[in-house]
Amino acid sequence: MFHSSMLLAGLLAATASARPAAPNADIKCPVVLSGQVPTATQLTDFDSYATSKVFNPDYVRASSIPWSKSLLFPAVANSRFDNSSYKSLEVTISEKSIFQTQNGFRRAGLQIMGDTNEGGPGTTGVRTLHWSVKQDAARKLNLTHEYLNVWHETSDYSANQFNFEMGTLIGKSGDKNTFKVTNRQNNVIWSTAIDNTAWQNFAVTLDYNKNTLQVYYSKGDDALKSVTSALSNDNSGGGQFQIGILKKPTGTSDVVNSGYQESPINEGQIYGGIFLEDSANGCISL
Ligand SMILES: *[C@@H]1O[C@H](CO)[C@@H](O)[C@H](O)[C@H]1NC(C)=O
Ligand SMILES: *[C@@H]1O[C@H](CO)[C@@H](O)[C@H](O)[C@H]1NC(C)=O
């Protein structure tokens, strides 16, 4: 009796991790860039242009740590916009996640294949970037630090049109246990509590014609709802999206190059449903 129920529990667990439950919604608008990971993808596929179909194999990461050593395929049910053709991906950082000579940061950031710094497809018209996030209890972030997780950075690297952040924003007051969206001026325009178990789904519409920014959000398998209006924002400067983890140090005014980071670090952020859609004529997948 005990034995067979154990066996059944084991089988159910195996089924749950192998086959994503199907909380999914259709993508309604033309996809401009896709960061959705096909189920057959192997971790080593992310390491070279010959095999990486989804993300740039070379950026933005420590040159000595190929993506196959810092990405994981977590055994979680898929997020809202990932049907059974796709799976979730976890970005992790360690104490060695240092890009070039940026000794203040610990970072690993994905760039969607086809997104380019000069004249990329994410810099004209009306574009909505979607992503979902889930926390990994085994790789918790230290929210005493400021984290940049998703953003669009100008092509001259002088500013970000928007940021999606977690933790303690340096020099600002506020609740560290929240996700925050900040605008070009780094002002918080919206925030919501970090849920330690549920998927949380986000979308940001950048209207390059009207220079506005609008945020959408939902939890679990709920449909997205707008949580801000289309707010005025300076979307100029081109550039590209980045998705992952950038952990800022504490105790410094020169965050890129110096400051305190603990060691070792074993932190991760689970992502799903990454895509950029064409929101011309008000189209948006909710
Ligand atoms: C998942 O969605 C994509 C389009 O985003 C579609 O091409 C594919 O057939 C879908 N897969 C399933 C199993 O429905
Ligand atoms: C979290 O970060 C703070 C500030 O750097 C540090 O003092 C603390 O030891 C860290 N906590 C853990 C659990 O590493």
pLDDT at 13: 43
Domain boundaries, the chain: 2-282
The C-alpha atoms of residue 263 and residue 260 are separated, in whole angstroms, by 10
Identify the three-state secondary structure at position 17: helix
The CATH fold assigned to 2-282 is Jelly Rolls (2.60.120)
The 3-class SS string of 28-43 reads: CCCEEEECCEECCCCH
pLDDT digits (tens, 9 = 90+) for 66-109: 999 999 999 999 999 999 999 999 999 999 999 999 999 999 99
Q: Is the CB of 84 under 6 A from ligand 1?
A: yes
For ligand 2, atom 12, the nearest C-alpha belongs to 142
pLDDT at 23: 63
pLDDT digits (tens, 9 = 90+) for 49-65: 999 999 999 999 999 99
CA of 180 to the centre of ligand 2 (A): 21
Residue that the structure tokens 């970037």 belong to: 129
Q: Buried b vs exposed e over 232-247: b needs ≥16 C-beta within 10 Å?
A: ebebebbbbbbbbbbb
CA of 141 to the centre of ligand 2 (A): 10
Name the pTM for this structure: 0.92
CA of 83 to the centre of ligand 1 (A): 6
